[in-house]
A and B are shown apart, each in its own frame.
Chain A
Amino acid sequence: MQEDHVFNGDGREAPELIVRGLTKRFGGVTAVDDVGFRLPGGQALAVVGPNGAGKSTLLKLLAGAHTPTSGSIEFGGRRLERASARQVVRAGIALAHQIPRPFTGLTVWENVAIGAGARGRAAEEHIAAVIAECGLQDKMRRRAENLRLLDLKRLELARALSTRPRCILLDEVAAGLSGRELDEVIALIARISATGCGLVLVEHVEGVVQSLVDRVIVMDWGRIIAEGTPAQIAADATVRQVYLGDGARPRTAARETPPARSGPPLLRLEGVDLAYGDIPALRGVDLEVWPGEVVAVLGANGAGKSSLAAAISGAERVRSGSVRFGADDVTALPAYRRARRGIAHCPEGRRVFPALSVEENLKLALPLRMPAKEVAGRLEDVYAVFPALAEMRARRGGALSGGQQQMLAIGRALIGRPRLVVLDEISLGLAPVVIDGLYEAIEAIRSEGIAVVVVEQNVHRCLAVADRAYVLDRGVVSYAGDPAPLSDPRLLERLYFGSPREEALSP
């Protein structure tokens, strides 16, 4: 075996990655089915497709984290389908995970140094270069658990780069980023690609795919259903149907009848301060929501969007200020009592109970005393909005795909017939076609007269349905009002980060 043979990645042409007939079965489920492609040295390939299509499994097969059931992986003439993860890394393939998992308790430097392996001056220079390349030089001595999302993503890339890869596999590195942060990560990946390192990326964020790769393969149910340049794929009818959906088209339709904002607001936040320990998350936030309107809450990562959602639902207690719902001051009420009064919060990350069935998950949000007949009726109401859930009512929450879990989480918020629903990052990590379905559901919710607060990174989707919008910048409301002007990326950028910038924001 060539275990001792270390590719050092300097100055040599990157090898070609050839995948043939790759198949992976888990029990009766074929997650990856006869997948094959060639990636010439130094080129970039994107793998897209709906949730559960097998994209992450494909990357794990390439990285040696899973062993394929059949098929072959060849990299620079070396067969890797039976290699362990460590051998794959040594052969020059590195994986950056979707959810960064650095070693907590270790500093950024130490995290990168582990991947770099060898000691000595040359290794130290390499580590320093990787850290600088990823823009972490100011945070080298910081512990990994104290990093914010963008820096965690940078560290995940740095850890992958530290092994001197000739081909790097990126699993949804842009998930959860927006605006300037997204641009920065795209620029970083572009720099890596420019060094001649091969690139395979799994990605939902369309801008990332468009700007970075030469070729795209589209997967569905474990198989490749289309292959081509980004432009070809964007025009492919099958791909539109299973993956991109209508949301990829520029939006034209606006809201026909804005709701009359007469009478008192349903929800009113006044001067709300919220903090985690010494770290302020919201400062003096005022917000009003009238019955039947959709209010968008936008902002960069860490701007306080989810904290605002938590202040509304009572998941977090406010430090000062007041929260009024209807005629009552609910500032002192815990979340469960606000939920019973009609404030539903669909939390970020779905938070479905994985061990409970779909039906049990839904019923949890109903009072225990509710008669069985009424419970059955409420379930049918939810299944009418999300027919997919009806088919899997007995399935465990943990066995659902991401999109189905999100439907379940929204259904669980709706089943109690709330007067206000807070939807926190419902499109995160989901395929565009799935997001289309969720936003259609928002329209259905609004038509019932329920007020909706939509907290989103996905600016354009969100603005398309919003009657009014708020933008948060570091815990302070930087904009409140008509959503239309926010379609201008330069204005949005200024509101997100408080300072003007020359470049336009990529959509």
Chain B
Amino acid sequence: MSAAVVLNGILLGGLYGMSAMGLSLVFGVLRLVNMAHGAMLVLGAYLAVLITAGTPLPLPVAGACAVLLAGGLGYVLQRHLLTAMLVRGANGPLVATFGLSLIASGLVALRFGSDPVSIPTALGTAGWSLWGLDVRAAYAVSFALAGVVAVALHLTLSRTRLGAAVRAAAADPRTADLIGIDVRTLYALVFAVASALAALAGLLVGVAFSVSPQSGTSYLLIAMAVVVLGGIGNVLGTFAGAILLGVVQTLAAAQFGGGYRDLVVYILFFVVLAVLPRGLFGRRLT
């Protein structure tokens, strides 16, 4: 019983990790707290719903389209709005992304109403037996995807020349510019990847649970807690922090009841900020 709780907590952590990866990346590289991250997550789920309803495309293809669309939207937002603001300080883009998140959830509510929507698929309700323990298939798939994404991102950032360019542009954009790095395009690329990952997380949330126009805020908060836990800009740390949060939250819910789910997130957030302001694993990226 208890082992199953822990295992489900670990797997739920994978979903949280996916939700937080983009936020961590944008925070680490652009030094920008992207308040629209939750909205992008929700938007990804609704885009998939819209595409499956309006076209004959199967869900995986529709989901891929939603992810790509979100990435494109992120690219345009960063290239043509946020970078220009970022040059003048971090406050402008912070407020701007908050505004964008309000607009996004307003538009979604206008089109779909404010009732929660879930993405109907066999995966959402399937359960598997792992090592004799019952787990939700949606959790397991999310976990695997999040792990692959975290490792891929980490290797790209740490081992490739593109990754070195991203780290250089994060640490000292002026000098990066001087030595021939197109910083604005690189920033837009990073934001695009982060947006696509948010949309992918939104898809998984929509499959495993449900989304509503307002649920962006709670996923933003969970993602923030995870990023603080794992260390800013440290994608492997983000994944590990997410697993920890998933386990703690699931255990607390099993022990004290489901009502304590969110409280646990905030307490963990608070304690880590107070005791380990650099996160459990420190800063890796820059």
Q: Which residues of A line the B interface, CB within 8 A?
A: 313, 315, 334-337, 339-340, 344-345, 347, 351, 353-356, 360, 363-368, 412-413, 416
**Contacting residues, chain A, for B176 (C-beta < 8 A):** 336, 364
CA distance A337 to B162 in the complex (A): 18
> Which of A365, A367, A413: most chain B CB closer than 10 A?
A365
Per-residue interface assignment for chain B, residues 166 to 182, with 1 indicating a CB less than 8 Å from any chain A CB and 0 otherwise: 01100110111111111
**Contacting residues, chain A, for B175 (C-beta < 8 A):** 347, 351, 353
Is A336 in contact with B167, judged by CB distance below 8 angstroms?
A: no
Q: Is B164 an interface residue (CB 8 A)?
A: yes
Is A339 in contact with B179, judged by CB distance below 8 angstroms?
A: yes
Interface of B is mostly: helix
Is B181 in contact with A364, judged by CB distance below 8 angstroms?
A: yes
**Contacting residues, chain B, for A366 (C-beta < 8 A):** 161
**Contacting residues, chain A, for B181 (C-beta < 8 A):** 336, 364
Interface set, chain B 238-280, CB cutoff 8 A to A: none
Known: A363-B161, A368-B162. A351 touches B180 (CB 8 A): no
**Closest B residue, CB atoms, query A359:** B164
Is B177 in contact with A355, judged by CB distance below 8 angstroms?
A: no
Q: Which residues of B line the A interface, CB within 8 A?
A: 161-162, 164-165, 167-168, 171-172, 174-183, 286
Is B165 in contact with A336, judged by CB distance below 8 angstroms?
A: no
Is B183 in contact with A336, judged by CB distance below 8 angstroms?
A: yes
**Contacting residues, chain A, for B162 (C-beta < 8 A):** 368
Is B167 in contact with A339, judged by CB distance below 8 angstroms?
A: no
Is B165 in contact with A364, judged by CB distance below 8 angstroms?
A: yes
Partner of B179, one of A337, A354, A368, A413: A413
**Closest A residue, CB atoms, query B171:** A353
Least Cβ distance of A286 to chain B in Å?
23
Least Cβ distance of A193 to chain B in Å?
40
CA distance A340 to B183 in the complex (A): 13
Least Cβ distance of B184 to chain A in Å?
8
CA distance A253 to B191 in the complex (A): 56
A-B pairs with beta carbons under 8 Å apart, 30 shown: A313-B178, A315-B174, A334-B177, A336-B177, A336-B181, A339-B177, A339-B178, A344-B179, A345-B178, A351-B175, A353-B167, A353-B168, A353-B171, A354-B171, A355-B286, A356-B167, A356-B168, A356-B171, A360-B164, A363-B164, A364-B164, A364-B168, A365-B179, A366-B161, A367-B180, A368-B161, A412-B179, A413-B179, A416-B179, A416-B180
Least Cβ distance of B88 to chain A in Å?
13
Least Cβ distance of B186 to chain A in Å?
10
**Contacting residues, chain B, for A360 (C-beta < 8 A):** 161, 164
CA distance A313 to B174 in the complex (A): 12
Question: Which 6 A/B pairs are nearest by Cβ-Cβ distance?
Answer: A339-B180, A351-B175, A365-B179, A360-B164, A335-B177, A345-B178
Known: A336-B182, A336-B183. A356 touches B164 (CB 8 A): yes
Partner of B180, one of A355, A356, A365: A365
Least Cβ distance of B142 to chain A in Å?
31
Is B180 in contact with A368, judged by CB distance below 8 angstroms?
A: no
**Contacting residues, chain A, for B164 (C-beta < 8 A):** 356, 360, 363-364
Taking A339-B180, A368-B162, A413-B179 as known contacts, 17 extra A-B pairs with beta carbons closer than 8 A to each other, sorted by chain A number, are: A336-B176, A336-B177, A336-B178, A336-B179, A339-B178, A339-B179, A347-B178, A351-B175, A351-B178, A353-B167, A354-B171, A356-B164, A356-B167, A360-B164, A364-B168, A364-B181, A365-B180
> Which of A345, A355, A363: most chain B CB closer than 10 A?
A355
**Closest B residue, CB atoms, query A334:** B177
CA distance A355 to B158 in the complex (A): 11
Least Cβ distance of B103 to chain A in Å?
30
Is A353 in contact with B172, judged by CB distance below 8 angstroms?
A: yes
CA distance A356 to B164 in the complex (A): 7
Partner of B178, one of A315, A354, A367: A315
Least Cβ distance of A395 to chain B in Å?
15
**Contacting residues, chain B, for A340 (C-beta < 8 A):** 180
**Contacting residues, chain B, for A334 (C-beta < 8 A):** 177
CA distance A354 to B161 in the complex (A): 16
> Which of B165, B167, B179: most chain A CB closer than 10 A?
B179
**Contacting residues, chain A, for B178 (C-beta < 8 A):** 313, 315, 335-336, 339, 345, 347, 351
Least Cβ distance of A1 to chain B in Å?
34
Least Cβ distance of A336 to chain B in Å?
5
**Contacting residues, chain A, for B182 (C-beta < 8 A):** 336-337
CA distance A347 to B174 in the complex (A): 10
Least Cβ distance of B254 to chain A in Å?
41
CA distance A477 to B8 in the complex (A): 72
**Closest B residue, CB atoms, query A353:** B168
**Contacting residues, chain B, for A354 (C-beta < 8 A):** 171
**Contacting residues, chain B, for A315 (C-beta < 8 A):** 174, 177-178
Least Cβ distance of A227 to chain B in Å?
40
Least Cβ distance of B203 to chain A in Å?
30
**Contacting residues, chain B, for A367 (C-beta < 8 A):** 180
Partner of B172, one of A351, A363, A412: A351
**Contacting residues, chain B, for A368 (C-beta < 8 A):** 161-162, 165
CA distance A354 to B179 in the complex (A): 15
**Closest B residue, CB atoms, query A316:** B174
> Which of A336, A360, A363: most chain B CB closer than 10 A?
A336
Least Cβ distance of B243 to chain A in Å?
26
Is B165 in contact with A355, judged by CB distance below 8 angstroms?
A: no
> Which of B176, B180, B182: most chain A CB closer than 10 A?
B180
**Closest B residue, CB atoms, query A362:** B179
**Closest B residue, CB atoms, query A422:** B178
Least Cβ distance of A276 to chain B in Å?
14
Is B180 in contact with A336, judged by CB distance below 8 angstroms?
A: yes
Is B179 in contact with A364, judged by CB distance below 8 angstroms?
A: yes
**Contacting residues, chain A, for B174 (C-beta < 8 A):** 315, 351
Least Cβ distance of B105 to chain A in Å?
36
CA distance A413 to B175 in the complex (A): 11
CA distance A351 to B171 in the complex (A): 10
> Which of B174, B178, B180, B181: most chain A CB closer than 10 A?
B178
CA distance A459 to B162 in the complex (A): 40
CA distance A412 to B167 in the complex (A): 16
CA distance A313 to B175 in the complex (A): 11
CA distance A354 to B171 in the complex (A): 9
**Contacting residues, chain B, for A356 (C-beta < 8 A):** 164, 167-168, 171
**Contacting residues, chain B, for A412 (C-beta < 8 A):** 179
Known: A360-B164, A363-B161, A368-B162. A355 touches B171 (CB 8 A): yes
**Closest A residue, CB atoms, query B160:** A368
CA distance A204 to B174 in the complex (A): 29
